[in-house]
Amino acid sequence: MRRNVLASPKRRRPFKGAKYGPGKGRPKRDGQYIDPAKFVNEAVPAPEQERFVPNHKFTDFGFMPELERNVVAKGYEHPTPVQDGAIKPVMEGKDMIGIANTGTGKTAAFLLPIIHRMKTHQQPGTALIIAPTRELAVQIDEEFRGFAKGLGLHSVLCLGGMNVRPQIKGLKRDPQVVIGTPGRLKDLFQQKALRLNRTGVVVLDEADRMLDMGFIKDITFLLDQLPKERQSLCFSATIPPQIGRLLDTMLKDPVTVSVRTRETADQVEQNVIKARSKEEKISVLRDLLRKPEFDKVLIFGRTKWSVQKLADTLKKSGIQAEAIHGNKSQPQRQRALKAFSSGKVNVLVATDVASRGLDIPDVSHVINFDQPNSHDDYIHRIGRTGRAGKGGHALTFVAG
Q: Report the interface residues with ligand AMP, using CB under 6 A.
A: 76, 79-80, 83, 102-108, 359
Closest contact distance (angstroms) between CB of 193 and ligand AMP is 28
Nearer to ligand AMP, 108 or 310 (CB): 108
Residue type, 322: E
Closest contact distance (angstroms) between CB of 334 and ligand AMP is 16
- Alpha-carbon distance 297 to 313, whole Å? 16
Sheet strands (E) in the chain: 96-99, 126-130, 155-158, 177-180, 199-204, 231-236, 255-258, 268-275, 297-300, 321-324, 347-350, 365-368, 392-399
Nearer to ligand AMP, 58 or 369 (CB): 58
Nearer to ligand AMP, 113 or 301 (CB): 113
Nearest partner of 324 among 193, 159, 135, judged by Cα: 135
Nearer to ligand AMP, 7 or 358 (CB): 358
Closest contact distance (angstroms) between CB of 94 and ligand AMP is 20
- Is residue 24 helix, strand or coil? coil
Closest contact distance (angstroms) between CB of 69 and ligand AMP is 15
Long-range contact pairs involving 48-56 (C-beta distance under 8 Å, separation at least 24): 49/389, 52/80, 52/81, 54/78, 54/79, 54/80, 54/81, 54/83, 54/84, 55/84, 56/84, 56/87, 56/88
Closest contact distance (angstroms) between CB of 104 and ligand AMP is 5
Nearer to ligand AMP, 103 or 124 (CB): 103
Closest contact distance (angstroms) between CB of 77 and ligand AMP is 6
Nearer to ligand AMP, 146 or 326 (CB): 146
Task: Indicate left, alpha or beta for 371 from its phi (over 0: left) and psi (-120 to 50: alpha).
Answer: beta
Give the Cβ contact number of residue 258 at 10 Å.
Answer: 12
Closest contact distance (angstroms) between CB of 296 and ligand AMP is 17
Nearest partner of 232 among 112, 89, 71, judged by Cα: 89
Name every residue whose Cβ is closer than 8 Å to that of residue 329 and which is 6 or more positions away in sequence. Answer: 161, 162
Closest contact distance (angstroms) between CB of 70 and ligand AMP is 12
Q: What is the CB-side half-sphere exposure of residue 12 using CA atoms within 13 A?
A: 4
Is the separation of the CB atoms in 372 and 31 below 8 Å? yes
Nearer to ligand AMP, 79 or 89 (CB): 79
Closest contact distance (angstroms) between CB of 258 and ligand AMP is 15
Is the separation of the CB atoms in 87 and 112 below 8 Å? yes
Is the separation of the CB atoms in 352 and 378 below 8 Å? no
- Alpha-carbon distance 192 to 269, whole Å? 50
Is the separation of the CB atoms in 255 and 89 below 8 Å? yes
Nearer to ligand AMP, 103 or 170 (CB): 103
Nearer to ligand AMP, 104 or 270 (CB): 104
φ/ψ of residue 365, rounded to 5: -140, 140
